[in-house]
Amino acid sequence: MTTVGPYVDPSAQERRHRSGFWTVAYAFLIVMAFATLPSPLYGLYRTRNHLSAFMITVIYAIFAAGTAITYLIELRLHADPKASMVRGVG
């Protein structure tokens, strides 16, 4: 006697992967928006390290980007195992 597992609709699975990707992309956007907002520390870092306002923004943007980029690549590879790791989004 053979047992058959539950049927998984491929289109439902594709929708789940797609919605997961866009959920993480949205979270990434929110983190980026709040990580680059002015904070009281910007002035201190800028004065102490002789940095420009642009450089402080870049530093915080890199910090924020690290919270989501790897997960976006992982979601992309899970949805399409043949996808390139270099081009995680798209």
pLDDT tens, residue by residue, 47-84: 999 998 888 888 777 776 777 777 777 887 887 778 77
Burial grade of 52 (CB within 10 A; 0-12, 13-18, 19 or more): exposed
Taking the whole predicted model, whether its pTM rises above 0.95 is answered as: no
pLDDT digits (tens, 9 = 90+) for 15-50: 777 788 888 889 888 877 776 676 777 788 889 999
